[in-house]
Structures are given as C-alpha cells and as structure tokens.
Amino acid sequence: MERDDFLAFAKERLTVKRYIHTIGVMETAIKLAEKYGVDVKKAETAAILHDIAKYEDIEKMEQIVKDHLNDELLGWGGEIMHGPVGAWIIKQELHIDDEDILNAIRYHTTGRAKMTDLEKVIYVSDMIEPNRKFDGVEKLRKKAEKSLDDAMKDCVRHTISFLVDSKQPIFPQSILCFNDLYRED
Ligand code: GDP
Ligand code: FE
Ligand code: FE
C-alpha cells in the first residue's frame, strides 16, 4: 500500500477537520524527519494513520482493549485509547507490521519513556502542525526547527501543564514520559 491508499483509509474514517489536521501532521512530520535523519516514509505513514481511531465507538475501543491490549487503558476515555487502538486496527486491517510505525501511533497522545526519534517526530508534529492554534504554539514551532529533543520536552511540558491547569487526570505513561525527558542522568 502507498501514501494515497493510506490517505483514502484515513479520509473514510475522519471528519473533514480531522483529515485536514492529518494532512498538516503529515507535512510537518515529513519536514522534521528530513531535518533530523528519521525514516521519511515511516514518518509519513505514521502521521497519516495516527488518528485513525479518533472517532471509533467507545464500546468498540473498550472491546479491542479488553481482548487485545492493556487493561490499564480502560477507564480513561477515548482520547487515551485512540492511539493504541488505532495501531491495532491498522495492523489488522492494513497489515502494517512495522513496530516503529505502530509505536509512533500507539504513543502519539501520551508519549512514553525512551521514545525513538520517529515517535518524537510524530508527537511533536501532532502538536505543532499548521492548523493548531493555541497560546505558545509558535514558540513550539520555533523550537522544533532547532532541536527535536528540546521541542519534545517543551511539547510534553505543555501537555502536562494543560492537563493540570484544566484539572484532568494524567495517564501514568504521560508522567513516565515527562520524567524520562526531565530526569538528569
Ligand atoms: P489529537 O488526537 O490530534 O487531538 O491529539 P492527541 O492524540 O495528542 O491528544 C488527544 C487528547 O488527549 C488531548 O486533548 C490531550 O490533552 C489529551 N491527553 C494527552 N495526554 C493525556 C493524559 O495523560 N491524560 C488525559 N486525561 N488526557 C490526555
Ligand atoms: Fe490523536
Ligand atoms: Fe492528531
């Protein structure tokens, strides 16, 4: 399967707004991958497919999690499940077995400790793609031009701060990601 097939697969499952976001993530991820020596084709594929499960029924997501994934994902809602569930769906339906691509999709919302550069490219691109509009996004875009690791640190800090400020619970994996990035070693 090729780029156009993945785009068609995404378009079928997303709203127009989410599809436009997906194109933005794809274009940003290609640029960052080229800049930081990451496999461009893998970045493109992961970006196109990263939000594929965003609008899946909650019941269906929970069933997939119960049958095939980690129970720790239960009780956190669709936002926490759509990455891991999306990775599972594209493995089953598109027969994508590349663990680098699957992990970039799995961890695009929460991050995790010890992320690969491809995972960071997708996480950062998801936050800074051109259609994103929030206070501080321009600063994050500038950071991403200078350093992938520094951009990742700032993006994760932004997410955690946002969650704290809006009184939302933080998924343990998100905290492990933050600690991994900010621990001096
Ligand atoms: P999107 O799918 O392109 O909208 O972006 P993401 O997949 O990165 O994030 C989806 C949502 O999950 C956002 O509203 C984030 O704030 C939220 N989110 C990210 N990490 C956590 C977390 O640890 N806990 C909770 N409750 N929400 C989170
Ligand atoms: Fe997402
Ligand atoms: Fe996204």
Q: Indicate if the pLDDT at residue 10 is higher than 90.
A: yes
Helix 117-128 to helix 99-106 angle (10° resolution) is: 40
pLDDT of residue 1: 85
Q: Tell me the two tokens of residue 136.
A: 């501080």
Of 143, 121, 120, 148, nearest to 44 by C-alpha is 121
**Which two tokens mark 47?**
């970006």
Residue 184 has pLDDT above 80, yes or no: no
With beta carbons less than 8 A apart as the criterion, state whether 81 and 53 touch: yes
DSSP conformational letter for 97: -
- The Cα–Cα gap between 85 and 61 comes to 6
Please answer whether residues 129 and 144 qualify as being in contact, where contact means their C-beta atoms are separated by less than 8 angstroms.
no
Report CA torsion sign: 96, 76, 128, 149: negative
Determine if ligand 1 sits within 6 Å of the CB of residue 125: no
Q: Which of 21, 74, 79 to mutate to test the pocket of ligand 1 (most atoms within 8 A of CB)?
A: 79
Residue 76 CB: number of other CB atoms within 10 A? 14
Over the stretch 21-79, which tens digit does the pLDDT of each residue have?
999 999 999 999 999 999 999 999 999 999 999 999 999 999 999 999 999 999 999 99
Ligand 1 binding pocket includes 169 (Cβ within 6 Å): yes
How far, in Å, CA of 21 to CA of 13, rounded? Answer: 13
**CA-proximal residue: ligand 1, atom 24 (nearest):** 170
What separation in Å is there between the alpha carbon of 185 and the centre of ligand 2?
30
129 pocket-lining for ligand 1 (C-beta < 6 Å): no
Split at pLDDT 50, 70, 90, the class of 185 is low
163 lines ligand 1 (CB under 6 A): yes
Render pLDDT for 124-151 as a digit per residue (tens, 0 to 9).
999 999 999 999 999 999 999 999 999 9
Nearest-ligand number for the alpha carbon of 78:
1
